[in-house]
């Protein structure tokens, strides 16, 4: 099994050389796939990876899924209602998760934030976007749903740090236990 460091180095080589240009709709979307058990190691290595990218001439932009989710839920209009409902039924996890998932997906709140960040990066050739903390999407949604809706909007190399497993060239299992999903239009390294 390759190490996270070796997989990251391979990812950077692929970004720098591009993907096969046989695909007419190529977008520079890349996934660094690693077993969920290595999640903490990936987070520990992130500062070194950012330094390596900076030394190679990249301007780094980071989009933390966890930070965005926390901000959306903190500012949600129904937050007080949720808090009261939680006090009355603290173990009603299915209802709670459904309400939180709705807050993230209604009007594409999370998706639109990533869209705005990607749009702001258009025309910046030495920029790379790192999308981190994908594990925070559980149990609300998976990143493939967001990626599919943003087709045509990735103008700079975008790397998703994906805790999960690969089950083929384009099929991934989020966190290693979700059903496999093959709806990714991206290059996958590792996993």
Residue 25 has pLDDT above 60, yes or no: no
Crossing angle for the helix pair 65-74 and 109-121, to the nearest 10 degrees: 130
Residue 72: both structure tokens together: 């959306």
Domain that holds residue 108: 4-190
Query: How do residues 30-53 score in pLDDT, each as one tens digit?
Result: 999 999 999 999 999 999 999 999
In this predicted structure, what is the pLDDT of residue 1?
A: 47
Summarize the confidence of residues 175-181 as an average pLDDT: 78
Is the pLDDT at 178 greater than 90, yes or no? no
Report d(CA 191, CA 189) in Å as an integer: 7
CA-to-CA dists, residue 103 to 20, 22, 26, 75, angstroms:
38, 39, 31, 10
Assign 127 a pLDDT band (cuts: 50, 70, 90): very high
Q: Give, for 190, the enclosing helix (H) or strand (E).
A: strand 187-190
pTM recorded for the entire structure: 0.88
Question: Can you tell me the distance from the alpha carbon of 169 to that of 56, in angstroms, rounded to the nearest whole number?
Answer: 28
Two structure tokens written together for 53: 């990218």
CATH number of the domain residue 165 falls in: 3.40.50
Q: Transcribe 132-166 into DSSP letters.
A: E-GGGGTTT--HHHHHHHTTT---S-EEEEEEEEE
Structure tokens at 167: 């089950």
What is the average pLDDT value for the chain, to the nearest integer? 86
Condensed to tens digits (0 to 9), the pLDDT of residues 85-111 reads 888 888 878 888 888 888 888 778 889
Question: What is the percent of the chain with per-residue pLDDT over 70, rounded to a whole number?
Answer: 93
What is the tally of structural domains in the chain?
1
Residue 156's nearest CA partner among 184, 132, 120 is 120
């Amino acid at each position: 099994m390759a190490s996270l460091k070796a997989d990251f180095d391979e990812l950077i080589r692929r970004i720098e050389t591009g993907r096969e240009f046989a695909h007419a709709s190529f977008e520079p979307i890349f996934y660094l796939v690693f077993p969920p058990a290595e999640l903490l190691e990936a987070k520990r290595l992130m500062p070194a990876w950012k330094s390596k990218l900076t030394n190679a001439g990249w301007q780094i932009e980071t989009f933390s899924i966890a930070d965005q989710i926390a901000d959306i839920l903190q500012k949600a209009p129904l937050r007080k209602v949720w808090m009261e409902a939680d006090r009355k039924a603290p173990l009603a996890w299915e209802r709670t998760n459904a309400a939180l998932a709705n807050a993230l997906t209604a009007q594409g709140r999370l998706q639109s934030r990533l869209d705005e960040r990607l749009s702001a990066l258009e025309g910046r050739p030495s920029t790379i976007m790192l999308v981190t903390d994908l594990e925070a999407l559980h149990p609300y949604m998976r990143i493939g749903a967001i990626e599919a809706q943003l087709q045509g909007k990735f103008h700079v190399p975008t790397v998703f740090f994906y805790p999960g497993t690969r089950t083929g060239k384009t099929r991934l299992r989020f966190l290693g236990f979700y059903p496999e999903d093959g709806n990714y239009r991206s290059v996958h390294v590792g996993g």
